[in-house]
Amino acid sequence: MSKVFVNIGLSLDGYLAPEGMTMGKPEVKNWGAKWGAMMGWLFHQQYFRDNLKLGPGGETGPVNELVRRTTERIGANIMGKRMFDQGEVAWPEEAPFHTPVYVLTHQKREPWVRPGGTTFFFVNDGPERALALAREAAGTRDVRIAGGADVIQQYLNLGAIDELEIALAPVLFAGGRRLFENVREPAPQFRIDRVIESPTVTHLRYVRQ
């Protein structure tokens, strides 16, 4: 069976997104600079640049290989309505997923097909239904819970997440959306599987015990 995993950036004080994050308005509470400080490392990786057609160049090495392996293992994504709404106004026409994406929402909407293999499906029947659809679509590949924080928390509380991949950046947000709020007992238990260090971020991989 395919794995269900989380792959996200995280601030040193535990925030997945800074306060005031609104696409198109990076000046609000300076969220654009904060997010850039947390995720800037990714834009320097050769595989990421090639995959999003950002132009030649970029770093190679263990972190670049990690980005490649993570991207290639994804057969479907799941995200929340808030994340989709932000991305809908910011993503290029060829959305950056290249897989089916299942959006948890109360809004009824027909599938939204984008160039490059991304189709957004809007699921009104809860996280379990979205996961079942994503597993079916992913086949032998894995399902990524893309975010935001509340969606990740829902799947943690369901005991559905097999792996956590966290890029921990040495930046402080001092507000925003925390990753591990609202996690209920008994919380799932994980063990450290891998650590990759770099000057700008520490890549941590945890697997379910």
Q: How many residues does the chain have?
A: 209
Q: What is the mean pLDDT of the chain?
A: 95
Position 68 scores a pLDDT of: 96
| Residue 199 domain-assigned (yes or no) | no
pTM here is: 0.94
Distance CA 127, CA 107 (A): 14
Which tens digit of pLDDT belongs to each residue from 130-187?
999 999 999 999 999 999 999 999 999 999 999 999 999 999 999 999 999 999 999 9
Position 181 scores a pLDDT of: 93
| Residue 54 banded pLDDT, cuts 50, 70, 90 | confident
Task: With a cut of 90, say whether residue 1 has pLDDT above it.
Answer: no
Average pLDDT over residues 121-133: 98
| Residue 138 domain-assigned (yes or no) | yes
Task: With a cut of 90, say whether residue 89 has pLDDT above it.
Answer: no
Distance CA 3, CA 139 (A): 10
- Contact between 54 and 48 under an 8 Å Cβ cutoff? The reply is yes
- Contact between 155 and 132 under an 8 Å Cβ cutoff? The reply is no
Domain residues for the domain of 153 are 4-19+27-191
| Residue 204 domain-assigned (yes or no) | no
Position 27 scores a pLDDT of: 82
Position 58 scores a pLDDT of: 92
| Residue 147 domain-assigned (yes or no) | yes
Distance CA 189, CA 195 (A): 18
Average pLDDT over residues 19-31: 85
| Residue 203 domain-assigned (yes or no) | no
Task: With a cut of 90, say whether residue 25 has pLDDT above it.
Answer: no
| Residue 202 domain-assigned (yes or no) | no
The CATH number of the domain holding residue 82 is 3.40.430.10
| Residue 209 domain-assigned (yes or no) | no
- Contact between 150 and 55 under an 8 Å Cβ cutoff? The reply is no
| Residue 43 domain-assigned (yes or no) | yes
Domain count, the chain: 1
